[in-house]
Amino acid sequence: MPDTGWQARWRRRLYFACGLACLGLAVLGAVLPVMPSTVFVILAASCFGRASPRWEAWLLRHPRYGPALVAWREEGAISRRGKCFAVGGITLGAVMFWWGANPGGWLGGAVTAGMAACAAWLATRPAPSATRLRGAGCDGDTPQRAPARTG
C-alpha cells in the first residue's frame, strides 16, 4: 500500500530527525576517543538521502567527510588511514575493556572475538580507486586544501 501524503511527510521528518541525531553523535564521536564518528556520518547521509536531498548533498560535498562518504557509497571502500584509525580504536577499546571491566574469561573472549571480527572486516575493505581519489582532490588518505586566494 503506497504512502499517503501525511505518511510520507512523517516518514521524511523521522528520517530527518534520525539524520540530525546521527550527525550530533558523529560530532560527539569526533571529540570523544571511545566513540566512533564515521559510522554516524554514514548513517546521517543515508537518512538525509531519504529525507532531505539538500542536507545529503551538503554531507557529500563536505571537504572533510565527503570523499570518504562517496568512496563508501560507490565502492564500499575505506582509505588506508581510515582503516588504521578504526582498527587502532578497536584495539584500544579492547585493551580498555580488559583493563577497566576486568571481565570473566568467556565474556572477555566473546567481546574480544566480536571486536576482532569487526577489525578484520574493516581491514579487508578495498581502498578507494586512484581515479576516484584524483577527482575528489585527495591522495587517498587526506583531503587537499585549495590554495588560499590572494588579492
- The residue with greater pLDDT, 41 or 150, is 41
pTM, 2 dp: 0.68
Answer yes or no: are the C-beta atoms of 39 and 68 closer than 8 Å: no
| 144 has a pLDDT exceeding 70 | no
Q: What percent of the chain has pLDDT over 70?
A: 83
- The residue with greater pLDDT, 88 or 137, is 88
Give every CB contact of residue 24 below 8 A, 6+ residues apart in sequence.
Answer: none
Domain shared by 66 and 93, yes or no: no
148 in a structural domain: no
Domain carrying residue 85: 77-130
DSSP per-residue letters across 114-150: HHHHHHHHHHTSPPPPHHHHHHHTB-SSSBPPPPPP-
Q: Which of 56-60, 90-94, 128-132 has the highest mean pLDDT?
A: 56-60
Domain shared by 117 and 52, yes or no: no
Domain shared by 1 and 69, yes or no: yes
Domain shared by 111 and 124, yes or no: yes
- DSSP letter at 74 equals H
User: From the CB of residue 128, how many other CB atoms can be counted at a distance below 10 Å?
Assistant: 25
Torsion of CA 136, 138, 143, 149, to 10 degrees: -80
Answer yes or no: are the C-beta atoms of 117 and 110 closer than 8 Å: no
